[in-house]
Amino acid sequence: MTAAVETGLWQLDTARSVIAVSHVTMWGMVTVKGEFTRVTGEGEVRPDGTVRGAVTLEAASLDTRHAKRDTHLRSADFFDVERHPTLVFAVRDAAFRPNDVAEVKGQLTVRGVSRPQNATVNVTESSADAIALTTEFTVDRDQFGMGWNRLGMMRGLTTVTATLRFTRASA
């Protein structure tokens, strides 16, 4: 497949999109995995080929299937959901490459801190009515003020994995 992404406005299909995180903890012995259950997004492919858009995650929706850990992740040690209820990845530019790949330049905002974040994105579906994308990238929690690391249990980078499906937005 060679993706030909249609111009226009696109809306995230939340029922068919997944954003997950994983982080190696406990001195490398355990991997904690979680999924954001409330995600929204939109995008635009302009006639000149430029792309803009954003994906917004509700911070309190991160579900690791462990209630006590999820409560801690919502606290000021991590996401501080009372003061910063959302995480946002805003697309600033995208360059489409051969073999259905796009290099996306964006900005990730977590806890009110914004940092550049780039991602290589695979286009897995492209039609007049739908676009599906997959990506994986890493994030340094310390850059966003989430440096909690009792006894060295949470060193290293957090991996973000996303499968996103967008449908054409009605005018």
- Strand spans (E) along 5-126: 8-12, 18-25, 30-36, 39-45, 51-58, 62-63, 86-97, 101-110, 113-126
CB atoms within 10 A of CB 67: 9
Alpha-carbon gap, residue 5 to 166, rounded angstroms: 11
Report whether pLDDT(155) > 60. no
Topology classification of domain 8-168 = Lipocalin (2.40.128)
Q: Where are the domains of the chain?
A: 8-168
Q: What is the pLDDT of residues 57-102, one digit of tens each?
A: 999 999 999 999 899 889 998 899 999 999 999 999 998 888 899 9
Q: What is the pLDDT of residues 119-131, one digit of tens each?
A: 999 999 999 999 9
Q: What is the pLDDT of residue 2?
A: 47
Section 119-146 average pLDDT:
92
Distances (CA, A) of 18 to 13, 78, 80, 155: 10, 21, 22, 25
Q: Provide the CA 168 distance to its chain's centre, in angstroms.
A: 20
Q: What is the pLDDT of residue 1?
A: 42
Q: What is the pLDDT of residue 148?
A: 55
Residue 123 backbone phi and psi in degrees, to 5:
-90, 110
Alpha-carbon gap, residue 92 to 77, rounded angstroms: 29
pTM of the model: 0.89
Q: What is the pLDDT of residue 147?
A: 67
CA-closest candidate to residue 164, choices 56, 46, 31? 56
Question: What is the pLDDT of the chain when averaged over all its residues?
Answer: 89
Residue 2 backbone phi and psi in degrees, to 5:
-115, 115
Alpha-carbon gap, residue 25 to 100, rounded angstroms: 34
Report whether pLDDT(154) > 60. no
Q: What is the pLDDT of residues 28-56, one digit of tens each?
A: 677 889 999 999 999 999 998 889 999 99
Sign of torsion over alpha carbons 24, 164, 63, 118: positive
Alpha-carbon gap, residue 55 to 48, rounded angstroms: 22
Alpha-carbon gap, residue 161 to 23, rounded angstroms: 11
Q: What is the pLDDT of residue 97?
A: 85
